[in-house]
């Protein structure tokens, strides 16, 4: 089994998060995009992300102003800003200059032009490829992973979009050295943001993490 990091996104419930942390994920994501069903809410407690001690805390944003991203990153003591919209390389650079890592997300489909990545190479720590959707993620659908054969960068990337409990072995077939992590979310849910810990446990085991 290839060595892959795991990012579990869309968390907001305290007890559910504590159960997740027992599995030792590498990244935990909190969504600050209000149209999302997994939006943390307007009164999200700083105590919840502070529970995460041994994983990187990721704030997910979609076309938010740079000032808003910075405000949330500092308030919730997050480590990484995941930019899931049409943010420019300049926005990424500003966040890096403030001491934060950046995941720049892209919506992949058959028409995706991988040349777009070039201007983000030096201002992103990771790329993330998700299934194209009007809701910027959380669709529960996969894109055609064979498109990743066009990826010729050494920048580590995160695979997202409809990854479910039965996909642990399928990711091995991608066979791209830059594949760094899997981003899992809606396919492991009982309801929006509430994860099924048993499904996650089995998935972690299949990946050799437990």
For 83-142, how does the pLDDT look when each residue is reduced to its tens digit (9 = 90+)?
A: 999 999 999 999 999 999 999 999 998 999 999 999 999 999 999 999 887 665 555 689
**Alpha carbon distance 95, 136 (integer Å):** 21
Nearest to 87 by CA among 110, 105, 112: 105
Q: What is the pLDDT of residue 174?
A: 87
Nearest to 204 by CA among 21, 17, 54, 48: 21
Cα 200–Cα 185–Cα 33 angle in degrees, nearest 5: 150
List domains and CATH numbers for the chain. Answer: 5-206 (3.20.20.70)
Q: pTM, whole model, 2 decimals? A: 0.95
Q: What values do phi and psi take at 89, rounded to 5?
A: -60, -30
Q: What is the pLDDT of residue 120?
A: 98
Residue 11 pLDDT exceeds 80: yes
Residue with tokens 């999200």: 44
Cα 18–Cα 21–Cα 23 angle in degrees, nearest 5: 130
Residue 51 pLDDT exceeds 90: yes
Average pLDDT over residues 162-174: 90
Mapped onto helix, strand or coil, the DSSP state of residue 200 is helix
Length of the chain: 210
Residues 183 and 129: beta-carbon distance below 8 Å: no
Average pLDDT over residues 139-157: 90
**Alpha carbon distance 112, 108 (integer Å):** 6
């Amino acid at each position: 089994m290839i060595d892959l990091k795991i990012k579990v996104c869309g968390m907001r419930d305290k007890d559910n998060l504590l159960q997740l942390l027992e599995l030792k994920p590498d990244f935990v994501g909190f969504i600050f995009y209000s149209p999302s069903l997994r939006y943390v809410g307007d009164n999200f407690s700083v105590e919840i992300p502070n529970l995460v001690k041994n994983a990187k805390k990721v704030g997910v944003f979609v076309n938010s102003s740079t000032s808003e991203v910075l405000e949330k990153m500092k308030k919730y003591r997050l480590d990484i800003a995941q930019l899931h919209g049409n943010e420019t390389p300049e926005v990424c650079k500003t966040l890096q200059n403030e001491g934060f890592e950046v995941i720049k997300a892209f919506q992949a489909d058959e028409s995706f032009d991988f040349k777009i990545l070039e201007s983000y190479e030096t201002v992103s720590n990771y790329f993330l490829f998700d299934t194209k959707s009007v809701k910027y993620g959380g669709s529960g659908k996969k894109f055609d992973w064979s498109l990743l054969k066009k990826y010729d960068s050494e920048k580590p990337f995160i695979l997202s979009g409809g990854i479910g409990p039965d996909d642990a072995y399928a990711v091995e077939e991608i066979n791209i050295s830059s594949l760094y992590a899997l981003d899992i979310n809606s396919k492991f849910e009982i309801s929006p943001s509430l994860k099924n810990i048993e499904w996650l446990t089995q998935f972690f085991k299949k990946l050799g993490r437990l």
